[in-house]
Structure 1
Amino acid sequence: MKYRVDLKSLKTEIERKGFQSVEELSEKSRINERELTLVLDGKNLPAMDVMVELASALELTPEKANEIFFNRIIRNTYKKERHFGDGKKGF
């Protein structure tokens, strides 16, 4: 499954919960500060255990966590056209 993190929403939730620093969130979520920084900077996608710890620290509802962490990238990566003998395109 392809996914991306909605960093804007994640950072909004961090602010909403009153965290003042990455260090503070790192302590609360038990996530290594460096790893957390990479996620928040959009350089790394978080592993499942990191998502769970963040969701717990931020007290996210399952729906909100899904919205933030599993915002799917929908794109057409492969589309094959078929042509029939009459020159019309098929599906």
Structure 2
Amino acid sequence: MKTTYKTDSRELKKIMIDRGISTIVQLSAVTGVNRNTLSNILNGESQPSAEVMRKLVAALEIPPEQAGRIFFNPNLRIA
């Protein structure tokens, strides 16, 4: 059985707010990631690439263990 992962966008948004970043435009400016890409990730429409994950983790100062929970959250809704 293949495991499918889904980014915990709710947790990612909480971290953004904690870091004083309230918009996708601001997040794009600090990460260098395209706004459309970030929008798709935050809306649960796509998974980030390894490079985008790295940029988000660095810009938002997410500890490795927490990053693992955010980006590799098992998607239990897929049957």
Q: TM-score, normalised by structure 1?
A: 0.75
Shift of 1:58: 0.5
* Aligned-partner residue type, residue 25 of structure 1: L
- Given candidates 38, 43, 46, the residue that maps to 1:44 is 46
State the identity %. 34
Question: Following the alignment from structure 1 to structure 2, what is the Cα–Cα distance between the partners of residues 51 and 71?
Answer: 13
Tell me which of the two structures has the higher relative contact order, counting C-alpha pairs closer than 8 angstroms and 6 or more residues apart: 2
- C-alpha distance after superposition, 1:17-57 (max 9, x if no partner): 11021111101011011111111111111111111111111
**Greater strand share, structure number:** 2
TM-score normalised by length of structure 2: 0.86
Query: How many aligned residue pairs are there?
Result: 76
Structure 1 unaligned regions, length at least 5: 78-91
Q: Aligned runs of 1:64-79 on 2, under 5 Å? A: 64-73=66-75
2:35 aligned with 1:19: no
1:74 positional shift: 5.4
SS in structure 1 of the partner of residue 37 of structure 2: helix
| AA of the residue aligned to 1:26 | S
